[in-house]
């Protein structure tokens, strides 16, 4: 007779972002009441959410005592991941706000040398002036390599010269 098998929990369907944010606030404040005040939510509602989370995860996350709370080992693990998730969400929000303000992103252009010294510098200068939030990555390669890079999605735009096979690519 071996050790009991751990119970699998589908965690993504059991945790919502508000509860994660509240959990992080509780650990940082070391108190459900102070976290509730900071988040402008009734302490009873915060306590209920955390209790429901503990039940859904089938593990205790907090040691509750008169002076406040402290995380269990499972609570500490959740806190570390939850804090990272909250940080990533804040970064995502900032990035999406940048997108809502206009065109932003990155364009990967692979070009052959003859075009790099021909029309590309002038075109790129005009593009950069018009779309300052778009980062242009420029790489010099042989024409067949540029075509393959677009086919492989290593490049967004491939500039080449000559009559070369391009497969399904749209060529202008």
Pick the CATH number of 105-159 from 3.90.1010.10, 3.90.25.10, 3.30.420.40, 3.40.190.10: 3.40.190.10
Q: pLDDT by residue (tens digit) across 97-146? A: 766 666 677 888 888 887 777 778 888 888 888 888 888 888 888 888 88
pLDDT, residue 130, reads 85
Q: pLDDT by residue (tens digit) across 139-166? A: 888 888 888 888 888 889 888 877 776 6
Residue 168 DSSP label: T
* C-alpha–C-alpha distance, residues 81 and 14, integer Å: 15
Q: Which CATH number is 11-99 given?
A: 1.10.10.10
């Amino acid at each position: 007779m071996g050790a009991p098998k751990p119970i699998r929990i589908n965690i993504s369907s059991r945790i919502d972002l508000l509860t994660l944010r509240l959990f992080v606030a509780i650990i940082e404040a070391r108190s459900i009441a102070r976290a509730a005040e900071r988040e402008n939510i009734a302490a009873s509602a915060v306590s209920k959410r955390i209790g429901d989370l503990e039940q859904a995860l089938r593990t205790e996350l907090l040691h509750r005592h008169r002076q406040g709370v402290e995380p269990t080992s499972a609570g500490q693990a959740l806190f570390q991941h939850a804090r990272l998730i909250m940080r990533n969400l804040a970064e995502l929000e900032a990035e999406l706000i940048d997108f809502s303000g206009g065109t932003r992103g990155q364009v990967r252009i692979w070009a052959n040398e003859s075009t790099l010294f021909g029309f590309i510098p002038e075109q790129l200068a005009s593009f950069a002036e018009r779309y300052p939030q778009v980062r242009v990555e420029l790489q010099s390669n042989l024409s067949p390599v540029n075509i393959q890079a677009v086919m492989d999605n290593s490049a967004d735009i491939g500039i080449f010269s000559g009559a070369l096979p391009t497969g399904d690519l749209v060529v202008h």
